[in-house]
Structure 1
Amino acid sequence: MRAIGKTGIIVATMLAALSTQAADAADVKRTPAGTLKDGTAIEAVTLSNAHGVSARILSYGATLQSLMGPDRNGKIADVVLGYDDLASYVDHPNFFGVTVGRYANRIAGGRFTLDGKTYQLPLNDKTNSLHGGGNGFDKVAWTIVSAKSGPTATLVLGYRSPDGDSGYPGTLDVTVTYTLDDAGNLGISYDAKTDKPTIVNMTNHAIFDLGGEGSAAGTYGHRLTIPAKAITPVGETLIPTGALQPVAGTVFDFRGGRIVGEGIRDGRDQQIRYGHGYDHNFALDKGLTAKPELAARLEDPLSGRVLEVLSTEPGVQFYTGNFLDGTFVGKQGHLYRMGDGIALEPQKFPDAPNKPSFVSARVDPGKPYHHAMIYRLSVAR
């Protein structure tokens, strides 16, 4: 047997290290996704790691079109609802996986007052403004600022929202940064700068089925944990009253984990009747934090897939797809109905600009907005 020698050992060690780094690297791939009616070209950017987790993002709406991950048997499936083609996102919008803004969730009457001036937003949710008022960040073409592979795959998208856009004050320069690492962490960071006082509340509106989108079992059998001892109860139009309502002893107590379907039809609870199921903001015990902390944990006992949602924001909206009524034909021809997906949207509280007791959504010049969140996919064995 021939001795390798010191030089050979060093070379072998370096080659092994390089091989390990290559295996752990996350990749970025850009492909054409179609063209808007005004001729704007839209791209799809896929971030993927070495363990079967990948995310496909459209530059239209800065949209998370797919999130793929293995189950306990290694079978890969897409766990977010949506469409296979760009045209469906344009022609049949339903917030599937999109970036929502300027203000995620509802603002009562579409009105808020800032420094003595009242602003009126479009009304696209009966008497309220929802997710930006109907022509928000989910319906525009974003610019791909950068896309690069590495230990963490990174995609940066940018958009300039002009002063007065959908009634909001201030020119807003926004970036959304998607990252994917080898551990299955899909990070999404929102950053915005303004030239005059305004309000900002951005998040992602992915709707999940951890059994795989369109699965026969749906999501009512998923187990959900939310570390929150209170919700912000709502009135008939789903606007918070301004109070905090303890979850103890109610179907909203997810602190120890519970099956989603256990309480979703409990008509004895007025809040469930208002939301046609769950469509409520949970006031997270952690509050507003400097770094992302746990906002929710969702597990599918059948597939073993686990999704942890982490965020710097003080609230998370839990929505059980109550308005999916069978009129939306999604990926692979799947007909989406109530219970086919769950949204967990980290955020400032709904209608915060009109509720002084809530964490403020105000953003000023020289004091940029920042929200960092993580979708962490794993498997429970």
Structure 2
Amino acid sequence: MSVAHSLNLRSGFYDVDHDDYRASVREFVRREVEPHYLEWEEARLVPRSAWQAAGKNGILGLAVPEQYGGGGVSDFRFPMIVAEELSAVGATSYLLSLRLQDDIVLPYLVDLCTEEQKQRWLPGAVSGELVLAIAMTEPGAGSDLQGIRSTAVRDGDGWILNGAKTFITNGINADLVIVFARTDPDAGSRGFSLFVVERADPGFSRGRKLDKVGIPGQDTAELVFEDVRVGPENVLGEIGEGLIYLMQRLPKERLSLAVQALAASEAAVKWTQDYVFERTAFGKRIGDQQATRFELADLETEVEITRAYVQNAALALTEGTLTAAEASKAKLWATEMQVRVTSRCLQLFGGYGYMNEYPIARAFRDSRVQTIYGGTSQIMKEIIGRDIAGRYPKEAGR
């Protein structure tokens, strides 16, 4: 029994509906992902057919209203199941691509689109026919979103968009890209807006498909916007509200990354436990060595305690009460834990742990970016620290 399952049975976190959905996702992973995943990694791209298969099998668009083809379910435990089942087979690149679409980009469309935009975009995003991306980060501006240089200048009833973005997940496959741009340099935090750029728009091009340390199958790209005309029908939400829209949705993005980190850590611990009780050294199983048992005890304890916090955060998100600081704590702790856990698990595999044919090697390689994107660990600490400082009025220290 896996770490996740042992804790879930004790906590009652999942119910029968979740168990039924897990069985469906597990069958999908066995049939559609496991036989092909290493090919996707070698090709450095998840094929369009894999997106469409996810849509056909109810993996995409869980929170999209039913009238647009989605599941109409806001319960965040369902996406957690997808993360757990894909992590169990080491399919990190595919998982990150899907979760970017569902947990990070789709909420913007569901919440901010006009009815006409919803009819135009949501059904394709749910079916996997449309791949989504969001373009915030720039070559000279990472976590500092107010430092971006991309601009959108009004032109008649539309806008002319110029700029460059980098580290964009799903950047090569993307059919729709939500672009964060400056629309008024004198308006401070109210000087940013969101625009939807489509694949065939003149002036929109892809730069390099970036060569990363890990998650090779997940396409990360540079995007270039040269005098891209965006009509009023592709403005997302209200002009000047872009930064506010981003801030409102970052807690879900960060919790999604925490869930992925937790699921990957659980999988790594399970692979390691299986391995050390199958291999022998000095006349007995590796897992029977005291040093190994102590290490296993640390690993399982750390993962299970993390799961308790992440589960509470997931319930809070579903209820609409998750705060930015709470999401930042989940992201900070779970991603840093993932780096520690996968490294220690790899050590217990010995030389085999360094071979890419073993999923622990890929998990170790893929873990490192988790403490960087979606807000670095240092940014998470700053958010948490500001929340703490805010509990103490400055006047109290005079």
TM-score of the two chains, using structure 2 as the length reference: 0.25
Q: Which has the higher helix share?
A: 2
- Which is richer in strand? 1
TM-score normalised by L of structure 1: 0.26
